[in-house]
C-alpha cells in the first residue's frame, strides 16, 4: 500500500535532504564537461588580459660602410615607443572585464544545463525507486495468490483456467518489476556518467520539497535576477557598448615617439623622432557594426524575456493544476482497496476474474498517482530551476 504525503514548507527557501544536495553538488563538481570548460575559461581570462598595454618598444641600429670620395662609415640608432590615447587603454580594460564576466555567465549556463539534466535523471530515478517498491508488493501479492490457487488446484477445488489466469498475472507482474529494475540501474549509470564516471550510492526515495510562491510576478522577479542566460545578455550588451565607445575612439590618431642618433664622418646628429598614424580608412565601418551589434542584443534580450515569462507562466499554472489533480486522486482512492478485494474473493463475494479486474483498476490509479507526482516535481523543477540551482552552487 502506498501513502503519499506532500509537505508544503512555510518559507520561501528550497529544502532538500542533505543527500539530494550532495548528489547534485558532486555532479557539478565532478562533471567532465564542466571541468573542461573551467580550464577553457581560465585560458579565456588570460587571453582577455592581453593587448591592454602599449605595444613593445623597438630598437633599430644600422651600420653602413662608406664607399666613395669621403672615407668613413655611417651609424644610425633609433629607439621608439608606439602608443594610443590613454582613454583607449581604459576602454580596452573595461572590455576585457566585461568579456570575462560574459564567459563566466556562459560557464554558469553550462553548469545549469548539467544541473537540470542531472536533476531530471535523479527525479526519474526516484520515480523508478517508488515504482519498483510498488511492483515488488504486487509481485509478492501475485505470488501469494498463485500459491493459494495452486494449493486449491492440487486439491481439485479450482480448474486449470483459474490456475493459468493466476500464473499469467504473476508473470506480468514479475516482468514489469524486472523492467523497472533495469530502468532504475540505467538511470543510475546516467548519473554516474554525469558525475565524471565516479560511482556513488543513492539512497533517495522521496522528491525534494518546495513551497509554491503564490504570486507569479514576485516569483518571476526572483527568476529574472538569477537567470544566467539573461545575465549573459546583459554583460554582452555592456561589452558591445564599450566596443562602440572604442570604435568611436578609433578615429583618434596613434603616436610613435622615440630617440634617434646618426653618426657620419665629421657629423653627429641626436634628436627626438615623432610619428603619427591617422586612421582615415580602416575605422570607417566599425561604428555602424558596433551599433548593429547593440541593437541585436537589445532585441534578443527582449525576445528572451518575453519567452521566459510565457514559459514560466505556463509552468506556474501547470504546477497548480497538477497539485489539484494529485489531491483529488488521494481523496478518491481507498488505499485499503487491495485488502478489501482479497477479503471479498476469499468470502466468495467476487470471482477470481472480478478480483483481478478490481485490482487492475486500483493499480492503474496508483500508477497514475506516481506518474502525476513525477510530472508535478518535474514541472516544479523547471519552474524553479534558476532558484534551485542558485541554492545548490552557493
pLDDT band per the 50, 70, 90 thresholds, residue 16: very low
* Residue 7 clears pLDDT 70, i.e. is over it: no
Query: Using CB atoms within 10 A of its CB, is residue 316 exposed (0-12), middle (13-18) or buried (19+)?
Result: buried
pLDDT at 345: 79
Tens of pLDDT, residue by residue over 131-179, are 999 999 999 999 988 898 898 888 888 889 989 988 998 999 999 999 9
Quote the pLDDT of residue 4: 36
Residue 3 has pLDDT above 60, yes or no: no
Place of cell 486439491: 155
**Span 12-23, average pLDDT:** 58
pLDDT of the residue at 68 = 65
Identify the CA nearest to 109 among candidates 228, 233, 234: 228
The predicted pLDDT at position 66 comes to 73
Q: How far from the centroid of its chain's Cα atoms is residue 308's Cα?
A: 15
DSSP 279-324: -SSTTTTHHHHHHHHHHHHHHHHHHHHHHHHHHHHHHHHHHHHHHH
Report how far residue 394's alpha carbon sits from residue 387's, in angstroms, rounded to the nearest whole number. 11
Enclosing H/E stretch for 64: strand 58-64
Q: What are the structural domains, with CATH classification, of the chain?
A: 18-56+86-252+285-393 (1.20.1600.10)
Total-model pTM: 0.82
59, β-bridge pairs: 79
- Whether residue 8 has pLDDT greater than 50: no
89: confidence class by pLDDT, cuts 50, 70, 90: confident
Given a cut of 80, whether residue 209 has pLDDT beyond it is no
Task: Please tell me the predicted confidence (pLDDT) of residue 299.
Answer: 94
The pLDDT score that the predictor gives to residue 70 is 64
Give the pLDDT confidence score for residue 280 in this predicted structure.
Answer: 74
Burial group, residue 328, by CB count within 10 angstroms (0-12, 13-18, 19+): exposed
Amino acid at each position: 500500500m502506498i501513502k503519499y504525503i506532500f509537505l508544503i514548507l512555510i518559507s520561501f527557501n528550497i529544502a532538500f535532504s542533505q543527500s539530494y544536495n550532495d548528489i547534485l553538488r558532486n555532479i557539478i563538481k565532478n562533471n567532465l564537461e564542466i571541468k573542461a570548460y573551467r580550464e577553457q575559461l581560465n585560458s579565456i581570462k588570460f587571453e582577455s588580459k592581453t593587448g591592454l598595454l602599449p605595444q613593445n618598444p623597438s630598437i633599430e641600429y644600422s651600420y653602413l660602410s662608406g664607399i666613395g670620395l669621403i672615407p668613413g662609415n655611417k651609424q644610425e640608432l633609433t629607439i621608439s615607443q608606439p602608443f594610443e590615447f590613454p582613454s583607449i587603454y581604459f576602454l580596452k580594460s573595461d572590455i576585457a572585464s566585461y568579456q570575462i564576466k560574459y564567459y563566466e555567465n556562459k560557464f554558469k549556463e553550462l553548469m545549469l544545463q548539467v544541473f537540470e539534466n542531472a536533476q531530471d535523471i535523479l527525479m526519474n530515478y526516484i520515480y523508478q525507486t517508488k515504482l519498483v517498491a510498488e511492483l515488488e508488493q504486487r509481485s509478492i501479492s501475485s505470488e501469494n495468490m498463485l500459491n493459494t490457487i495452486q494449493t486449491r488446484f492440487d486439491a481439485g477445488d479450482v480448474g486449470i483456467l483459474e490456475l493459468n489466469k493466476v500464473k499469467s498475472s504473476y508473470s506480468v507482474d514479475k516482468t514489469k518489476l524486472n523492467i523497472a529494475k533495469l530502468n532504475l540501474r540505467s538511470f543510475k549509470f546516467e548519473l554516474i556518467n554525469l558525475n565524471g564516471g565516479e560511482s556513488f550510492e543513492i539512497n533517495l526515495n522521496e522528491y525534494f520539497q518546495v513551497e509554491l510562491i503564490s504570486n507569479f510576478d514576485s516569483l518571476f522577479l526572483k527568476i529574472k535576477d538569477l537567470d544566467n542566460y539573461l545575465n549573459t545578455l546583459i554583460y554582452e550588451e555592456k561589452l558591445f557598448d564599450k566596443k562602440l565607445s572604442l570604435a568611436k575612439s578609433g578615429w583618434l590618431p596613434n603616436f610613435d615617439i622615440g630617440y634617434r642618433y646618426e653618426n657620419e664622418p665629421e657629423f653627429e646628429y641626436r634628436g627626438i623622432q615623432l610619428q603619427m598614424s591617422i586612421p582615415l580608412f580602416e575605422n570607417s565601418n566599425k561604428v555602424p557594426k558596433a551599433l548593429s551589434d547593440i541593437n541585436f542584443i537589445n532585441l534578443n534580450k527582449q525576445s528572451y524575456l518575453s519567452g521566459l515569462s510565457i514559459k514560466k507562466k505556463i509552468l506556474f499554472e501547470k504546477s497548480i493544476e497538477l497539485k489539484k489533480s494529485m489531491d483529488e486522486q488521494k481523496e478518491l482512492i481507498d488505499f485499503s482497496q487491495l485488502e478489501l478485494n482479497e477479503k471479498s474473493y476469499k468470502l466468495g463475494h467476487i470471482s477470481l476474474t472480478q478480483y483481478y479486474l478490481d485490482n487492475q483498476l486500483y493499480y492503474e490509479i496508483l500508477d497514475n498517482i506516481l506518474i502525476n507526482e513525477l510530472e508535478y516535481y518535474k514541472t516544479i523543477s523547471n519552474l524553479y530551476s534558476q532558484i534551485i540551482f542558485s541554492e545548490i552552487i552557493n
